Amino acid sequence: KRSYNVTLLPGDGIGPEVVAVAKDEKLMGGAAVDAYGVPLPEETLAAAQASDAVLLGAIGGYKWDNNEKHLKPETGLLQIRAGLGVFANLRPAAVLPQLVDASTLKKEVAEGVDIMVVRELTGGIYFGQPRGFGKNDKGEDTGFNTEVYSASEIDRITRVAFEVARKRRGKLCSVDKANVLEASMLWRKRVTSLASEFPDIELSHMYVDNAAMQLIRNPKQFDTIVTNNIFGDILSDEASMLTGSIGMLPSASVGESGPGLFEPIHGSAPDIAGQDKANPLATILSAAMLLRYGLGEENAAKRVEAAVTETLNNGFRTGDIYSPGTTLVGCKRMGEEVLKTV
Amino acid sequence: KRSYNVTLLPGDGIGPEVVAVAKDEKLMGGAAVDAYGVPLPEETLAAAQASDAVLLGAIGGYKWDNNEKHLKPETGLLQIRAGLGVFANLRPAAVLPQLVDASTLKKEVAEGVDIMVVRELTGGIYFGQPRGFGKNDKGEDTGFNTEVYSASEIDRITRVAFEVARKRRGKLCSVDKANVLEASMLWRKRVTSLASEFPDIELSHMYVDNAAMQLIRNPKQFDTIVTNNIFGDILSDEASMLTGSIGMLPSASVGESGPGLFEPIHGSAPDIAGQDKANPLATILSAAMLLRYGLGEENAAKRVEAAVTETLNNGFRTGDIYSPGTTLVGCKRMGEEVLKTV
Ligand SMILES: CC(C)[C@H](C(=O)O)[C@@H](O)C(=O)O
Ligand SMILES: CC(C)[C@H](C(=O)O)[C@@H](O)C(=O)O
């Protein structure tokens, strides 16, 4: 048995509950703003950088919503992504056979959906300079941001996406807005030119507005999607909701080397925090991704995933995925049931 | 009877078919690139500006997909929007009782959905400067665009949206990414400050990623949505697809004064162009919006809309909205059936 150093960042809202297995926690998000006056204390980033992998619960809440930018929990999240260099965000959205009814889509449209969104995470409009507030030539206030990608930023995320597609069903769809944006034109050009390195992968391109439609019209047409930071933010959330059970969905953010960041895709749900109602499965499945992509422990990852499947087969459900005929349990109990079966 | 001067721009693909009532047509889009070497000839823009309203079919096609930016049909569309100053794009997405089965959403989720997306159309990342291609400090190629909004650009679209909400169910949801983008922070600040002028309207704010989810989870929560150009592009297409019948959906783009631009939200569908398969109802309903918002002819608009409803009630369907038990007709016949009942 090897031992690993995993940094746990429970965060805010239901974050601490869903990460309740926590050892070696560090503060980040609103909790850190309250305790240290910054959303990502240096000590937290240093601990994360020195560890083998980082598991994050969720951050943010009403309390900090109107904070200035440098005191927003979200800013801490962007800082830790940048600080760890985790440019590739993998977001699976699969409809589990046990939960197909949770989708708002018709059964025949939802069943079998199995999409992986590969989102660029440390570039684009989230980080582009210049950004800020200014005045235009009429003396009016303006707010501005820069969407910018360099060739190497596009190439590295594209390679990750091709590799991911290769381990899946061999289809990659690159999503952009190359009919309008120069940043997207470069994106499409680079993605297209890398295709020759992956002749076994079927590559297609789609405009982002069409992708937002096609995900609803016929989500089964997608296998792996690769896209920029902001389009990935929107489309991965849309894809998640197709499953009807975002309380189930994990994510992995990885870089070229160094620890990865693993987190459920759901938010901190301040409205239900502390009530033992949250679904811990997304975090548990994030821990499985941590084992797989962060530590290379494929077998352990599979064991965790199998335990989640068995727990669902045993009929246990938190409120967000409950349906008549199943057993309603709280966050803590759900975690215990999974542990029992691992 | 007053007479109006309406400029018809059939465009490309199925555009000419769906606008087959055309008189006084001018070329734009790929057709104009082929004939004049530019996607929006001066003569077309001048005619449009001098008219009372402009009806556009659809533009674009494979043939021009790899053209340089100044020779793309899409560029012509952006130029005519800017040239007419039509900053407010109104995109209704309503599920018609006759067509509820066309939605991929479960019936109980789809029925009764009636959303109006008010999209800012002449600003933001579509038009922001600087934009283009460059080199970064490592000498690598970059592509970049600027998302920028001024206070007055935000204010004028927000006022339109509040007015629209007032004529509907009195609820306005402003969508942004104010937890990350400065352009969105200014957006949220201005929208919030205008709310006091519209005390009868219930205003809420939502992040764009959450909006992409909520549209699928529970679309009935939305009445009117106001958002920027790029988010509006994505969310209005997503909202349209919820109805399952984008061949039915019109749009109106209006400015402070001058002619408005009216167009179906569907594209030019080059794969079915010239086969008499397209659904002309989106264009006919765009003509109804033209009568209402462009010419102030509310009664005429209602007559056209009633004729469309009656034609559907009579069981006529083009292929995109066909279901067993209805009568399958082509584009031309569908148009004739509507005309008969006006
Ligand atoms: C909280 C926010 C900054 C973040 C993002 O936009 O990346 C979130 O929406 C996500 O997708 O992880
Ligand atoms: C064709 C394209 C430039 C256009 C846009 O992005 O505005 C289209 O998608 C639309 O929504 O009208």
Q: How far is the CA of B16 from the centre of ligand 1 (A)?
A: 43
Distance to chain A for B87, nearest Cα, Å: 17
Task: Select which of A65, A101, A209, A271 is catalytic.
Answer: A209
Q: Which residues approach ligand 2 with their CB closer than 6 A?
A: A 179-180, 209; B 74, 77, 233
Say what the pLDDT of residue B22 is.
Answer: 43
Average pLDDT over residues B240-265: 94
Q: Which CATH class is domain A1-90+249-342?
A: alpha beta
pLDDT over threshold 90, residue A20: no
pLDDT over threshold 80, residue A5: no
Q: How far is the CA of B94 from the centre of ligand 1 (A)?
A: 30
Q: Which ligand is nearest to the CA of A59?
A: 1
Task: State the pLDDT confidence band at A8, using cuts at 50, 70 and 90.
Answer: confident
Q: Do B14 and B328 contact (CB within 8 A), yes or no?
A: no
The verdict on whether A209 is a catalytic residue reads: yes
CA distance B89 to B289: 12
Say what the pLDDT of residue A66 is.
Answer: 87
Q: How far is the CA of A115 from the centre of ligand 1 (A)?
A: 19
Say what the pLDDT of residue B10 is.
Answer: 74
CATH topology of domain A104-243: Isopropylmalate Dehydrogenase (3.40.718)
pLDDT over threshold 90, residue B78: yes
Say what the pLDDT of residue A288 is.
Answer: 94
Q: Do B229 and B119 contact (CB within 8 A), yes or no?
A: yes
Of ligand 1's listed atoms, the one at least distance from the Cα of A74 is: 3
Average pLDDT over residues A154-169: 97
For ligand 1, say whether the CB of B180 is within 6 Å of any of its atoms.
yes
Residue with tokens 């349906």: A323
Residue contact B235–A212, C-beta within 8 A:
yes
Contacts of A74 in chain B (CB under 8 A): 179-180
CA distance B55 to B61: 19
Task: State the pLDDT confidence band at B21, using cuts at 50, 70 and 90.
Answer: low
Residue with tokens 């162009």: B273
Amino acid in position B134: G
Closest Cβ opposite residue B133 in set A105, A186, A246 = A186
For ligand 1, say whether the CB of B209 is within 6 Å of any of its atoms.
yes
CA distance A42 to A35: 13
pLDDT over threshold 50, residue B310: yes
Q: What is the CATH code of the structural domain delimited by B1-87+255-342?
A: 3.40.718.10
Say what the pLDDT of residue B91 is.
Answer: 97
A98-141 pLDDT per residue, tens: 999 999 999 999 999 999 999 999 999 999 999 999 999 999 99
Closest Cβ opposite residue A140 in set B109, B151, B182 = B151
Say what the pLDDT of residue A22 is.
Answer: 43
Task: State the pLDDT confidence band at B136, using cuts at 50, 70 and 90.
Answer: very high
CA distance A58 to B201: 33
* Nearest Cα residue to B56 out of B114, B8, B2, B89: B8
Q: Cβ–Cβ contacts within 10 Å for residue B10, how many?
A: 26
Alpha helix (H) residue ranges in chain A = 15-18, 30-36, 42-49, 73-84, 107-110, 151-167, 182-194, 208-217, 229-243, 281-289, 298-313, 331-341
pLDDT over threshold 80, residue B195: yes
pLDDT over threshold 50, residue A268: yes
Residue contact B209–A144, C-beta within 8 A:
no
Q: Give B184-214 as a DSSP string.
A: HHHHHHHHHHHGGG-TTSEEEEEEHHHHHHH
Determine which of B117, B207, B216 to mutate to test the interface with A (most A C-beta atoms within 10 Å). B216
Enumerate the active-site residues of B: 126, 177, 209, 233, 237
CA distance A128 to A148: 6
Residue contact B238–A182, C-beta within 8 A:
no
Q: Which segment of A167-171, A223-227, A293-297, B74-78 scores lowest on mean pLDDT?
A: A293-297
CA distance A57 to A27: 11
Q: How far is the CA of B233 from the centre of ligand 2 (A)?
A: 7
Q: Which residues lie closer than 8 Å to A233 by C-beta, 6 or more apart?
A: A119, B177, B208, B209
Q: How many CA atoms lie within 13 A of A237 on its CB side?
A: 21
Residue contact A144–B183, C-beta within 8 A:
yes
Q: Which two tokens stand for residue B9?
A: 């721009």
Output the average pLDDT for chain A.
Answer: 93
- Ligand 1 atom 10 nearest Cα: A233
Q: Assign residue A112 a region: left if phi > 0, alpha if psi is -120 to 50, beta otherwise?
A: left
Residue with tokens 């209805």: B326
Say what the pLDDT of residue B23 is.
Answer: 61
> A90 vs A42, A312, A314, B188, B314, CA distance in Å?
26, 23, 28, 30, 49
The domain limits of chain B are: 1-87+255-342, 95-248
- Ligand 2 atom 2 nearest Cα: B74
Say what the pLDDT of residue B20 is.
Answer: 57
Distance to chain B for A20, nearest Cα, Å: 26
For ligand 1, say whether the CB of B50 is within 6 Å of any of its atoms.
no
CATH topology of domain B95-248: Isopropylmalate Dehydrogenase (3.40.718)
Average pLDDT over residues B251-270: 93
The verdict on whether A72 is a catalytic residue reads: no
Q: How far is the CA of A289 from the centre of ligand 1 (A)?
A: 19
Q: What distance lies between CA A198 and its chain's CA centroid?
A: 25
Q: Which residues lie closer than 8 Å to B92 by C-beta, 6 or more apart?
A: B114, B115, B116, B117, B249, B250, B251
Task: Select which of A177, A223, A293, A320 is catalytic.
Answer: A177
Residue contact A212–B212, C-beta within 8 A:
yes
pLDDT over threshold 80, residue A297: yes
